[in-house]
Amino acid sequence: MIVSDAAQKVLSMLELEDEEEYNFNKAVEHINQAIYELAEENEFSFFDRISSSRITDPSITNDQDSDQDNPDYYIIPSYWAIAPGRLPLMDVIGSTWDEFAYIRRAWISVNDLQQPFREYSLEQLLDKYGDEEGQPEAFAVNGEYFYFRPIPPVGEVYTVRLLYHVLPSVYSSNDSPVPLSVMPYVVIYKACSIACLWLQDDNRIAIFETLQSKAFEKFNARQSMTNDGPSSMEDYNGET
């Protein structure tokens, strides 16, 4: 389903025409808001990404140790020698601030084996490790930076893999975002609830919230029946 179709269904369910008070463009806006809020409230796998980054001591630069065959790897440039154990977060995850939500899980490669890479608050990380050198064991995200400790000794390089959650883009009328493909009426009912709040139509908010909840239960039931996730989804009202 594309966004414009979903927006038309919102107008139809609200029994509103494309008019000045609530029009098609506002319905598109509320479809986007519904997808965004659902992404924040739930850990949907279709909003996940994996990144691979290399962390090392600041003496190794892009010119000294580059990996032309794997552009996803990021080598700490020499100018970060002023702050060992710290990287710009956007360079590590290879994403942008308007997409990034949070890191769900992390691993570090040690002797070709993937080991857990624990997350702490920055205060906890620095209290526990200070400026200790050694194999990195933990990380913290604070503001625009990705911190890791212990700090690798000179010459040692480690590969870190991050599973992180991204927030959805703003979709245009002709886009077909994954949430509308796999759970269209979860999104539509959510958008209707948001629209009722905007219209100050309190009497119908609970109705659409109940419909959304039932559609979401149906989505979860169908998703649990397959390992790969559904390619199409029948929602609570039987439509796909």
21 compared with 48, residue with greater pLDDT: 48
Res 66: pLDDT: 40
Q: Band of the pLDDT at 187, cuts 50, 70, 90?
A: very high
Which is higher by pLDDT, 78 or 33?
33
Global pTM reads: 0.71
Cβ–Cβ < 8 Å for 14, 23: no
CA angle, 220 then 189 then 230, to 5°: 30
Residue 184 contacts residue 78 (beta carbons within 8 Å): no
The whole-chain average pLDDT of the chain stands at: 80
Query: Given a cut of 70, is residue 32 above it in pLDDT?
Result: yes
Smallest Cα–Cα separation from 196: which of 21, 38, 40? 21
166: Cα separation from own chain's centroid: 2
Identify the top-confidence range among 14-18, 98-102, 144-148, 221-225.
144-148
DSSP 100: E
Compute how many other C-beta atoms are within 10 angstroms of the C-beta atom of residue 116: 11
Q: Name the least confident of 94-103, 171-180, 221-230.
A: 221-230
